[in-house]
Amino acid sequence: MAEALTLHEDPRSGNCYKIKLTAALLGLPLATRAYDIMQGETRTPEFLATVNANGRIPVLQIDASEGARFLPESNAACWYLAHRSALVPQERFAQADMLRWMFFEQYNHEPNVATLRFWRHFVGEANLSEQQRGQITAKHLAGCAALDLMNRHLAQSAFFCGDTLSLADIALFAYTHVADEGGFALGDHPHILAWIARVQAAPGFVPMQ
């Protein structure tokens, strides 16, 4: 297994941070190559032809004897890294339930919590299009619903899949712990705040840049 791992990333992206956190918790060396998505650096012909035809980061590059392979989608890259590790439950239902929270993250959480953070914290409200501005209320409400569901789940469980940290926690931690940058107040979600502290206390934890 003499393989080298490189993350094509934008350091501001929570989706990229998920992969760096997974690698850190597992003690895996991970090189990085940074792109500025605000400057269109992931839409160049070279990037589209070699790294990801979908024009997005993160992409995990895996260099091994058989050549370089590229894996887009943050949660799929985490899955690859965590293969046969304690971050993935092996019991059939628990494993499916972990993926359930990771799909929830990409469908119910990221398009709302992460998008509003990007718009408000990096783009700036004054620079949004009319069409983007028209979606702020709906995305705020949908993000609040996702956070509320998480808070209620965490009232009964230390982590998303029981008593131990899994990829579901990493996936949901990335944008939740900076949700205030998207205009979400975590103060009324005490179980999320306690869970954030538990994730941060995990051996090997690294903060987002």
Residues in contact with a copy of itself by the rule CB under 8 A = 53-54, 62, 69, 71-77, 79-80, 83, 92-93, 95-97, 99-100, 102-104, 106-108, 110-111, 131, 134-135, 138, 149, 152-153
Question: What is the chain's Cα-based Rg?
Answer: 17
CB of 55 to a copy of itself, least distance (A): 9
Choice between 13 and 74, CB closer to a copy of itself: 74
User: What is the smallest separation between the CB atom of 53 and a copy of itself, expressed in angstroms?
Assistant: 6
Cβ atoms 148, 192 nearer than 8 A? no
Token pair of 79 as six digits:
């899955």
Distance (Å, rounded) from C-alpha 46 to C-alpha 53? Answer: 10
Minimum distance from CB of 130 to a copy of itself (Å)? 8
The phi and psi torsions of 165 (rounded to 5 degrees) equal: -65, 135
Q: Among residues 157 and 209, whose Cβ is nearest to a copy of itself?
A: 157
CB of 178 to a copy of itself, least distance (A): 19
Q: Which of 90, 93, 77, 98 is nearest to 28 (CA)?
A: 77
